[in-house]
Amino acid sequence: MNIADAQRDVRTSYLGGFAGQLVSALIWGASAALGTWSTHRAAILSLVVGGVFIYPLTLLVLRLMGRPVSLPRGFPTNSLARQIAFTVPLNLPLVGAATLYHVNWFYPAVMIVLGTHYLPFTFLYGMRQFLALGAALITGGLLIGLYVPTPFSLGGWLAAALLLLFAITGRITAIREIAAAPLTAPSLTAP
């Protein structure tokens, strides 16, 4: 299997990252709402604890949509996907340090971590939109952290909106590709 075929299989199987980004957008939105109308502590805890459940909730959404929840054993990019998954939790101590120094840096710091997490998705999915998402999250996190650290939840709302927007565009891209695929081609996305 060549790289382009593997990327197409990832893209079409997971609908361009739709389920994971949708789940993430909902968790970020709930956290931002808590940051706006409740306490900083509640907002921070909801994003950190909610983040632990992104993967299992993504699998649930994929199952409910009738999509595959994993690629076959030995698939060429399985190792890359696992490595990418660990980038966020390994960077949480840095987010914690930034937040302890300045609580309003919480969302900007997590945005930067999440943005860097999405950059390798460009190769995994073969979709340049992940470069745009990563760049938007990193740039947004930097600009908010440096120049607009208040209100506290601004970064949470921005990240939720970006994740939702890119979930929708990724799904549209994947659905178009599936519809254009020849009916005789073997695919991981077949029922």
Tens of pLDDT, residues 94-138: 999 999 999 999 999 999 999 999 999 999 999 999 999 999 999
- Cβ atoms of 141 and 105 closer than 8 Å: no
- Which regions in the chain score pLDDT beneath 50? 183-187, 189-191
Phi-psi region of 66 (alpha: psi -120 to 50; beta: other; left: phi over 0): left
pLDDT value of position 73: 86
pLDDT value of position 141: 98
Rounded Cα gap, residues 81 and 188, in angstroms = 17
Rounded Cα gap, residues 143 and 165, in angstroms = 20
- Cβ atoms of 113 and 95 closer than 8 Å: yes
* pTM of the entire predicted model: 0.91
pLDDT value of position 182: 65
pLDDT value of position 116: 97
The b-or-e profile of 61-99 (16+ CB within 10 A means b, else e) is bbeeeebbeebeeebebeebbeebeeebeebeeebeebb
Rounded Cα gap, residues 21 and 118, in angstroms = 10
**CA-based Rg of the chain, rounded to a whole angstrom?**
17
- Cβ atoms of 170 and 129 closer than 8 Å: yes
Rounded Cα gap, residues 43 and 31, in angstroms = 5
